[in-house]
Chains A and B, each alone.
Chain A
Amino acid sequence: TQLLEQSPQFLSIQEGENLTVYCNSSSVFSSLQWYRQEPGEGPVLLVTVVTGGEVKKLKRLTFQFGDARKDSSLHITAAQPGDTGLYLCAGAGETSGSRLTFGEGTQLTVNP
């Protein structure tokens, strides 16, 4: 069974601060995705990373896939209240086809 561990589980910061969320596993993933979920809604895809060492930037968000394709991080610069939500990483295993394994999520609260 492939497991993804996210840390921290909860994060409460002030507007303007920077933060990093981590997603770690002992398994290798063929690709890894980050989703954001708001209360009462389904997760929405932010990014997909597929190459070890890959870095992708989406405005104030920077995503990195580990060289060994076992871990990933999400860095947010100058957080805003609109960034508040549950951030989920999800990995596609090399032998699990398109079945995604989700981490337990990081609940981010950005206070104005």
Chain B
Amino acid sequence: GAGVSQTPSNKVTEKGKYVELRCDPISGHTALYWYRQSLGQGPEFLIYFQGTGAADDSGLPNDRFFAVRPEGSVSTLKIQRTERGDSAVYLCASSMDSRRTGELFFGEGSRLTVL
């Protein structure tokens, strides 16, 4: 597709369950970012990849959160033992090259609700 694609668009789960959120970036974009946005707040940085490697994962809140990008394209954000406080919209973005601050192209987000 032409834009950043995120699946699922909505996910409702129970506390303690495992969740995977997928991001398919714009073709050719080497940099991929994950942000989390709570209601009424701006996006909060989680992690970004340059190619296959995590260049900066300092925004991951704890060790229940993990992200991979094994082939340098699609990325998966994994959340273990979900908690109610994890409820938010998880945004993925991609850009041409993370070494220069250029335009981030965002997906529509995955809305996670933990009951």
Contact = CB atoms under 8 A, between A and B. Distances in A.
Interface of A: 4, 6, 30-31, 33, 40-45, 48, 88, 90, 92, 96-105
Contacts of B35: 102
Interface of B: 4, 31, 33, 35, 40-45, 48, 55-56, 58-59, 91, 93, 95, 98-104, 106-109
Given A31-B101, A45-B103, A104-B42, A99 B56 contact: yes
B55 to A, nearest CB: 7
21 contacts: A31-B101, A42-B91, A42-B107, A43-B43, A43-B106, A88-B42, A88-B43, A90-B42, A90-B43, A97-B56, A98-B31, A98-B48, A98-B95, A98-B101, A100-B45, A100-B101, A102-B42, A103-B42, A104-B40, A104-B42, A105-B42
B32 to A, nearest CB: 11
Contacts of A104: 40-42
A98 B98 contact: yes
B23 to A, nearest CB: 11
Contacts of B91: 42-43
Nearest to B99: A98
Contacts of A42: 4, 91, 93, 106-109
Given A42-B4, A92-B101, A105-B41, A97 B107 contact: no
